[in-house]
A and B are shown apart, each in its own frame.
Chain A
Amino acid sequence: MSANAESGTKGSVLSSGVTTCGAGFPFLGIGFGLLVLWATLFHLTGNSTLGYIKSHSLFVWWYEVMSQSVRGHGLGALLDGEDALGWFIPLIVIGLLYWRFDDLKAIEKKPSWLGVVAIGFAVLLHICGFLVQQTRISIVAFFLGVYGITGLLWGRVWMKETLFIFALFLFCIPLSGASDVIAFPLRVWSTTLSVKIASGLFGLDIIQQGTLIFDSSGRYQYEVAPACGGIRSLTAIFVLSLCCGFIFFKSIWKKVLLVISALPLAVAGNVLRLLAIIFAAELAGQEAGASVHSSSIFSLLPYLPALIGFWILTYWLGDEIKRKENLK
C-alpha cells in the first residue's frame, strides 16, 4: 500500500512538474512531432559527401568529425580538440534556458508565420549545403529549423528573446581543418601586436618573421603555432559573450555590442599571453618562456581581458534584467 502510495505520490509530483513546465509552453506535442520529422530529414539526407564518413546522416557526420581527435587517445582528449566546446553547447543552452525559465515562460505565446519563414529558409539553406556538399552549412540549417519550429509554436516575441541563445548552436559546427581562414589571421595579428608592444613600448629587441618571434641575440625564439593562435579562446569568448548577452540584456543592440567586443578582447587576451612568454624569456631565457607557455595558470590569461571587458561592458550598459528584478 505504502509502496503504491509512494509511487503514486512520485508520479503525481512528476506529472505536476511536467504540467507546470509545459503550462507556459503550449503545443508541445505538435512541436515534438515537427522536431522528429525535421531530425529525420537530416538523418536521411543530412550529408551528401561520402568520403571519409560514409553516412547520409548529419548526426553521424557531426559525431565522427567531433570525435576525430578523441579516437585512439581516450576520453581525456575530448577537451583538447579545437572543437571541444561543441560538445557542451547543448548543455549550456539548456542551462541558460533554465536560468531564464520564468521570463521565457511568461512570454505570451502564439503561433507565428515567422517560424515557418525560418523553417523555409532553413530548408533552402540545407538544399544548398547538400548540393554544394558542405555539411557544415546543413548543420546551420538544422539549428535554424529547430529555432523556426519553436517560433512557429510560440511566436515573434519568443524568437526575439531566444535568438542569441540559439546562436550558440553555431559553435557546434566543427571548424577544425576548416578554421585556417580564421585561425591564421588571428595568429598573425596576435604575433604582430605582441612584437609591437614588446619592442615599441618596452624597448625589447625582438624580431617578427611571420608567426615566428625571436630576439636579435638568438637567446630565444618561439613559433606561434596554430594551437596557440587563440582559436579556442576566441570561440570560448564568443560563447561567453552570447551567454552574458542573454543573461544580462534584453536590447538586441547591447547583445550585439557584447558579441562584437569578443573579437578584440580575444586578441587582447592572446597578446597578453604571448607577452608573458616573451617577458619570461627575456628575463630568464627560452626555458622560462616555455614554462609560461605550458603553465596551466598562464593558459587562463587569454580569458582575463574578456572577463574584465564583459564585466565593464555589462556595468556600463546597465544590467537590465537584474535592474528589472530589483524594481519588482
Chain B
Amino acid sequence: MFEGKKNLYILSAIAIFLMIGAGVLLGYLQENQRLSQTPVKVVAEPMPGVDSSATEKKVFTVRTNRVYLPEKVLDYSSILIPVEKAEFETLPKDTIYGRRLYRSSDGFEIVNMVVLMGADRTSIHKPQYCLEGTGWRIDKSEQVLIPMDKPFPYQLPAMKLTLSGYLVGQNGEKTLRRGVFLYWFVAPDKMTAEHKNRMWSVAAHRILKGEIERWAYIIYFSTCSPGEEDAVFERMKVFIRESLPEYQLVPKAN
C-alpha cells in the first residue's frame, strides 16, 4: 500500500511529529508539576546540616523548613540531628527532613527521622541499602501493627527490622548490639509498610490524577543489648503512640 519515497516522507514526518511532540509535552509536564498535600506537618524552621568528613565539622542550614517533630514526648527530651552533607547533596533538592534524638530520664534513646519527598520520588529509598551500608546486618524483617489511639483507634502498619552490629569502643573493643528499626510510608490519604505499594501508588496517582503524590518515610530506631529487643520494641510502641499524632496528618480525624 505504501511504497516509494512519498510514503517514506509521510511516515518520517509523522515520526518526527511524534518525537518533537513528546519532547514539548514532557518539557511542559516537567515545568508544570502539581504536588499533592503533605502527609506530615511542615514548619518554617531551619534544618541544620553537617559535614562530618571535613576536618572541622561545619554546621550549615540545609533548608529553611523542616518536618515538625515534637521537642518533648512523655519524659523524653530531644535534640535536632543535622543532615549529613553527603546525604543532602545526593538526595533531590526539594527533600524535606525532620530528625531528632530523644532521650528519656533513664537514658533510653530513640531516633525519629522523617524524609518528605518533593516532586522527585528518589527522595525516599529502601532502608535496607543504607543500613547495610552503615554496618548493620538485618537479621529479621517482619510486618507489625502498632495500635494507635489518636486521632481515633487504628492499627498502624509498620515494617520492623531486627538488626545486629558491632559498636567499636575507644580502645577498639567490639560490642555486639542489636537494633530495632521501625519504618513505614505515608501519603496524604494512605499508609503502607511496603515499599512496592508506595511505588505503585506514586505511579497510579501520577497517571490517573496527574498529580505527584507526596510520600513521607517515617523511621523510629533504637539500639539495645542482645535479648532486650522485645522490651525495646514495647517502649518504642508507647513512644510512637504519643509522638506520631503530633506530626503525621494521616489518618485524619473526622
**Hey, which bits of chain A sit against chain B, CB under 8 A?**
27, 30, 33-34, 37-38, 40-41, 44-45, 48-52, 110-113, 115-116, 119-120, 123, 126-128, 130-134, 148-149, 152-153, 177
Contacts and interface: CB of A to CB of B under 8 A. Distances in A.
Contacts of A27: 8
Contacts of B203: 132, 134
A267 B177 CA distance: 38
A50 B21 CA distance: 23
Contact of A149 (B15, B27, B29): B15
Nearest to B1: A113
B184 to A, nearest CB: 19
B138 to A, nearest CB: 13
Nearest to A46: B26
A45 B92 CA distance: 17
Contact of B23 (A30, A45, A133, A177): A45
Contacts of B122: 49-52, 133
Most buried by B among A51, A133, A153: A51
The SS class assigned to the A binding surface is helix
The SS class assigned to the B binding surface is helix
A273 B140 CA distance: 27
Please provide the 4 A-B residue pairs with the shortest distance between their CB atoms, ordered closest to farther: A51-B122, A132-B203, A45-B26, A111-B8
A13 to B, nearest CB: 30
Nearest to B12: A30
A148 B12 CA distance: 11
Most buried by A among B19, B25, B27, B206: B19
B15 A119 contact: yes
A123 B19 contact: yes
Interface string B56-68: 0000000000000
**Range for the number of chain B residues in contact with chain A:** 20 to 34
Contacts of A130: 26, 29
Most buried by A among B15, B18, B91, B92: B15
Given A38-B19, A110-B3, A51 B12 contact: no
Interface string B1-36: 011000110011011101111110111011000000
B214 interface: no
A123 B12 contact: no
B120 interface: yes
Nearest to B124: A51
A100 to B, nearest CB: 24
5 contacts: A30-B8, A40-B23, A113-B2, A127-B25, A152-B12
A49 to B, nearest CB: 5
A44 B11 contact: no
A48 B30 contact: yes
Contacts of A115: 11, 15
Nearest to A131: B206
A113 B30 contact: no
Given A119-B18, A131-B29, A41 B23 contact: yes
Most buried by A among B18, B23, B92: B18
Most buried by B among A44, A123, A148: A123
B123 interface: yes
Interface in B113-128: 120-123
B253 interface: no
Contacts of A134: 203
Contacts of A132: 202-203, 206-207
Contacts of B123: 51
Contacts of A149: 15
B120 A49 contact: yes
A132 B20 CA distance: 20
Contacts of B8: 27, 30, 111, 152-153
B53 interface: no
A50 B202 CA distance: 16
B77 to A, nearest CB: 33
A30 B91 CA distance: 41
Interface in B63-121: 90-93, 95, 120-121
A51 B95 CA distance: 10
B68 to A, nearest CB: 23
Given A44-B23, A111-B2, A128 B207 contact: yes
Given A48-B26, A133-B121, 5 more contacts: A51-B122, A130-B26, A132-B202, A133-B206, A152-B12
